[in-house]
Structure 1
Amino acid sequence: MGSRGWASLLRGMLLLLAGGAFMAAWSAGMYASALVAVLAALWGLVTGIVEARRPQLAPVAAPLTASDPAHRERRLTALLDLSPAPIVTLDGEGRLYAINRPARRLFGAADLVVDPPPLLVEAIGDAAGRPATVAIGGRSYALTTSDFAHGGAQSRLAALIDIDAELKAAEAATLRDLVQVLSHEIVNALTPIASLSRTAADMLDDANPALPALRDAVGTVARRAAGLQRFGESYRAMARLPVPRLQPVPASELAADLARLFATRWPELPLQVDVHGVPFLRADPDQVSAALWALLQNAAEAVGNDAEGAVSLRIDVAEGQALFRVADNGRGIDAADREAIFRPFFTTKPEGTGVGLALARQIFLAHGGDLRLDGDGTGASFLGRIA
């Protein structure tokens, strides 16, 4: 193999390892490392293009010594053995070869892997340069491949990046964060319910309690407590948002419940509520209430203790669609954070969890709509839509 052939093989291995490193870094949440891997791959591609366009130099007249091919082979073997990732080749007849020390250790073979895992051979054959994941011996590997020709035969080079430890670490961290933020959100939801319950209890101490107000308070507590219970049970598995149970929901009643909870939680902060359009919307009332409550809570926290602070909730219901706008006159969202605010666990608050907006958007998406930051004026305005 000429110098260009060896260079092509080395560039192929660079792209292979860069692809595997990208998958491992991305799955573990190490986005900076993933970017470095992408840059390394781009460098390999650019140098390959430059090399391909460079004129081929005429061979020198002096013959190569017999030791030169062996020297190049030993150098390539040493480079391959330095790679921590097992590297294998699959030829056109489906034979798998271990070509570096980690691969020989993994498969217990000096060269030809006599009994290769069928799923691995299938994955390498089907990958065609695309990243994939395969399990070998109870561990997970990110698989990247690259095709090359040697001696007139076509083979496929594959690198196996062990991502089992990274996956388990990321899984444990995600589970820990999920438990923390869910418990925080449940406590936040229970706080106004508890406050409203105390208000109702105080009203019962009056000799002549205002029964309509008492009935409204108790009814709101009952509905929100039942909704929170159903919502929490659906998240017990901590796997995914439950499928919305669509039903007719009175828009005015939904707004009134949220207004009572808001007034109990932030009695000094005015909330303007407007409801327009047809009287009923079709949605999962518990999920939509949770999404709107998260938006209202963010708006109230954005206003803080500002004496002139205000929050608004507007609901527009039409046939087949409902729009929800929650706005405040706080300091607004920094331009650098506008693309990240819906990312799970992203927060700019010292005691924030970064789950409220992400969960609210998931709920709107599950209802066939979306949630977005609307406008760039004073304060923040979120527009949610369900279809």
Structure 2
Amino acid sequence: MGSDGIRRTIRALVLALAGGIIALAATHGLYATALLAIVVAAWTAVRNAVEQGAPSPALAPPAPLPVKSDPEALQRLTAYLDLSPAPLVSLDGDRLRAVNRAARRLLGTNDLVAEPPPALLGMLSDTRPGRTAKIDLDDAGEIRSFALTTGDLALSGRMLRIGALIDIDTELKAAEAAALRELVQVLSHEIVNALTPIASLAATAVAMLDNPVPPLPELREAIETVARRAASLHRFGESYRALARLPTPALRRTALAGFANDLAMLFTSRWPAIELAVEKHEAPAHLLIDPDQLTAALWAVLQNAAEALGNAPDAKIHLIFKARVGRTLIGIVDNGPGISARDESDIFRPFFTTKAEGSGIGLSLARQILRGHGGDLALASSRVGKTEFEATIPA
């Protein structure tokens, strides 16, 4: 800059704004705003230097500013700040200035705001540095919501307040669009995964009918399982459509034997080459669960295991139910290649996947369902030849 005084002032403002504007801007993804907002101080310092013709008396030793370079510095800084999409303002006593182009457009001024909105003046005064506040302002006849964050600078014996206004409406619209995309992915993932075993089991039932003497007990069991899973899928879809979120589990006392047998039959019809061993000799007779949701959760983990096993000739999965004090453990163990150590911390992160056609929804949704039941889902261990997931639900 033009002098040591201006450089010191810039450093002071960088510190004042670091906990406020930068943090909020970075949180909302406005990285350009985060970088540009810190030079509001420089803009203010140079403007004061131009107007007063001297540096702050607090700066020592006093030295005259290069008059020729200060207007150039102000012009450069103003150009930088004009790139920020967030309106930036400064409050000096009762004088409100629009610092950048976004603020000038919002407040309808080229510099000093002749009639500043009382709400903005009050909010600037009341919002402490590092905090944020919501304020509604008129933007060309449309009321828009902004998040206001502030920083303070002691300059020439008085306190100057800097403010950044972040457009909440734009952020909310972007968040809504992202949430809608995620919801569509979740629904399509669950619907396709539920329909695949239903279609396979239905085809098996049709093949049974082609026998000269159809095995009626097996045929009835297959059709009843298809009917139950189809009804379950219908309820699952209706809940999502009504609430646009995972519904609260509708807990009911459910016989473990029937629940586990249905799950095993669906799995075998989908992956007949993979052995599924269900172990429930240490299990309780009944579970207090939402059977539809828990089926979806365990199916996601079983599918993950089956896809990891691929076409291995000795592929095997153990589905283990165990009663413990106050809870029921559900283990899913496979003898596949294991999960890479670098991926273990990411497997429950939404949309993380290592598969070319994967969506990264299954394990994330499964954990959400278990936590909705008051339990949890975790990767207990993973190495070549043994990967174990452990789910817990209250007894």
TM-score range with shorter-chain normalisation? 0.7 to 0.9
- What is the CA distance between 1:71 and its match in structure 2? 5.9
AA partner of residue 332 (structure 1): G
Match of 1:116 in 2: 117
Match of 1:104 in 2: 104
Shift in CA distance, 369/72, structure 1 to aligned 2, threshold 3 Å: farther
Matched, 1:329 2:331: no
Shift in CA distance, 14/319, structure 1 to aligned 2, threshold 3 Å: closer
Matched, 1:64 2:64: yes
Match of 2:220 in 1: 215
For residue 375 of structure 1, give the secondary structure of its aligned residue in structure 2. strand
Match of 2:77 in 1: 79
Match of 1:297 in 2: 303
Shift in CA distance, 15/313, structure 1 to aligned 2, threshold 3 Å: same
Query: Does the CA contact (< 8 Å) of 2:127 and 2:150 recur in 1?
Result: no
Give, in whole Å, the separation in 1 of the partners of 2:341 and 2:198: 35
Match of 1:382 in 2: 389
- What is the CA distance between 1:356 and its match in structure 2? 0.3
Query: Does the CA contact (< 8 Å) of 2:331 and 2:391 recur in 1?
Result: yes
The 5 Å alignment of 1:272-351 reads: 272-275=277-280, 276-318=282-324, 320-351=326-357
Query: Does the CA contact (< 8 Å) of 1:124 and 1:158 recur in 2?
Result: no
Which stretches in structure 1 are left out of the alignment for 5+ residues?
27-32, 42-55
Deviating more after overlay: 350-359 vs 183-192: 183-192
1:212-242 CA distance string (max 9 Å, x none): 3233222222221111111111112573210
- What is the CA distance between 1:313 and its match in structure 2? 0.8
For residue 260 of structure 2, give the secondary structure of its aligned residue in structure 1. helix
Match of 2:22 in 1: 18
1:336-385 CA distance string (max 9 Å, x none): 11111111111110111110001001001111121111113234211111
Matched, 1:179 2:177: no
- What is the CA distance between 1:164 and its match in structure 2? 5.3
Match of 1:147 in 2: 152
Give, in whole Å, the separation in 1 of the partners of 2:208 and 2:350: 41
Give, in whole Å, the separation in 1 of the partners of 2:120 and 2:287: 50
Identity among equivalent positions (%) equals 50
Match of 2:369 in 1: 363
Query: Does the CA contact (< 8 Å) of 2:249 and 2:290 recur in 1?
Result: yes
Q: 1:191 aligns with which of 188, 196, 201?
A: 196
Query: Does the CA contact (< 8 Å) of 1:245 and 1:284 recur in 2?
Result: yes
Which stretches in structure 2 are left out of the alignment for 5+ residues?
39-57
- What is the CA distance between 1:210 and its match in structure 2? 3.2
- What is the CA distance between 1:299 and its match in structure 2? 0.6
Q: 1:352 aligns with which of 349, 358, 361?
A: 358
Shift in CA distance, 192/23, structure 1 to aligned 2, threshold 3 Å: same
AA partner of residue 131 (structure 2): R
The 5 Å alignment of 1:261-280 reads: 261-275=266-280, 276-280=282-286
1:186-230 CA distance string (max 9 Å, x none): 122111112212322333444544333233222222221111111
Match of 2:42 in 1: none
- Stretches of 4+ aligned residues off by more than 6 angstroms: none
Give, in whole Å, the separation in 1 of the partners of 2:383 and 2:314: 17
Shift in CA distance, 370/124, structure 1 to aligned 2, threshold 3 Å: farther
Shift in CA distance, 369/307, structure 1 to aligned 2, threshold 3 Å: same
1:7-62 CA distance string (max 9 Å, x none): 31255456655334412328xxxxxx69x969x99xxxxxxxxxxxxxx99626xx
Query: Does the CA contact (< 8 Å) of 2:90 and 2:99 recur in 1?
Result: yes
Query: Does the CA contact (< 8 Å) of 1:251 and 1:281 recur in 2?
Result: yes
Give, in whole Å, the separation in 2 of the partners of 1:333 and 1:117: 59
AA partner of residue 377 (structure 2): L
Match of 1:52 in 2: none
What is the number of equivalent residue pairs in this alignment?
361
Superposed CA RMSD in Å reads: 3.5
Give, in whole Å, the separation in 1 of the partners of 2:124 and 2:327: 45
Query: Does the CA contact (< 8 Å) of 1:299 and 1:311 recur in 2?
Result: yes
Shift in CA distance, 155/331, structure 1 to aligned 2, threshold 3 Å: same
Give, in whole Å, the separation in 2 of the partners of 1:140 and 1:332: 49
Give, in whole Å, the separation in 2 of the partners of 1:119 and 1:213: 73
